[in-house]
Amino acid sequence: MVYYNKKISCILLITFLIPFIIISPVAAAPQLDIKSPSAILMDAGTGTILFEKNSHEKMEPASITKIMTMIIALEALESGKVSLSDIVRVSERAWGTGGSQVFLAPGEEQTLETLLKCIVIASANDASMAVAEHIGGSVEGFVKLMNDKAKQLGMRNTNFVNPHGLSSPEHYTTAHDIALMSRELVKYPLFFNWSTIWIDYLEHTDKKRDATMLANTNKLLGKYEGLDGLKTGFHNKAGHCFAGTARRGDFRLISVVLNADTSSQRFEDTVKLLDYGFGHFDAIKVVEKGSIQKILPVEKGHLENVNVIVPEDVSLLIEKGKEGEIRTKVDVPDKLCAPLKKGNTAGTLLIEQGGKIVKKVNLVIAEDVMKANIIEMFKKIFNKWFNF
């Protein structure tokens, strides 16, 4: 009976303490006065969340949807499935989309590059539909690509039913999921060629028509240091939305605010989020791509030694003022045995902060090392004997 009472007491004590056990991310949650109902701030490099407010609440994203539209388009360009010079014929369906548009006419032909520029700068729904039909074969085929990509990116609370964001009960996402797809989009430098344009013009196929002005709806361009994207959105059910990104040095942040009451509020909340991120954190490049971390001897190889390198740049998100806490440690074997193939893993780089391992990076072999032939083996033996 005494044992039972002690067991109950322990359970009650643990239950009482659970609310006070905090697993800290990079820093304690800040007290930011974000008025928008849903928001998030993410480090683009590591995906670390620096602030969130109702970030998993499902909401309609309006034209922020076009972030995924652009991802699918840029992915198709990268794979060679389409090219910027492709001529796209505007269908009746695309022409009749409604909402924000650049007034493409049925049968009008534009290059894919021009249509993508219309999407990014002017948030053109008609251009989005034309691009969807060109890349996906149909709007429905393109939407399937969008949802497949969303699953691949871990967007668990998202469902797209169109490529433009016009209101639909089954068309929804979250601030968190938008941050995930924004992080994917910023990997494409081509996107920023268009997202940083203030004003441009669309020349129509019918030369009798006046050119359509393309005006960027991102009011923070040129007003907030380093800000170069991403996408605004608005309709009555979605409210005023904005997915923003800004870069200073190697440090890029992604912010998302949803369902703000006014256009100015979404931008004010964005500035608060980005100010907090840049004010309290930084991205430190710990090691550069290709840097030699160790030179290892090779047994039975045509080379005596081989370089072990870092295959990519390695950056770490840290709180400002804690740069001096970063240390690196190489964990590799004493030697390697041929044959060895370039790019194969040869060990691990351990990155420590404040004495704790915060990141592990594979180290790879810098070049192929073939097995030594008989003559090379004889030379090695002779050299060792002669040197001895």
Active-site positions? 63, 66, 123
Radius of gyration of the chain (CA): 27
CA–CA dist 268, 264 (Å, integer): 6
User: Is there a cis peptide before residue 339, judged by omega within 30 degrees of 0?
Assistant: yes
Count of CA atoms in the C-beta half-sphere (13 A) of 262: 3
How many Cα neighbours within 13 Å face the side chain of 259? 17
Q: Cis ω on the peptide bond leading into residue 230 (within 30° of 0)? A: yes
CA distance 383 to 228: 60
- Hey, which residues does 247 pair with through a beta bridge? 252
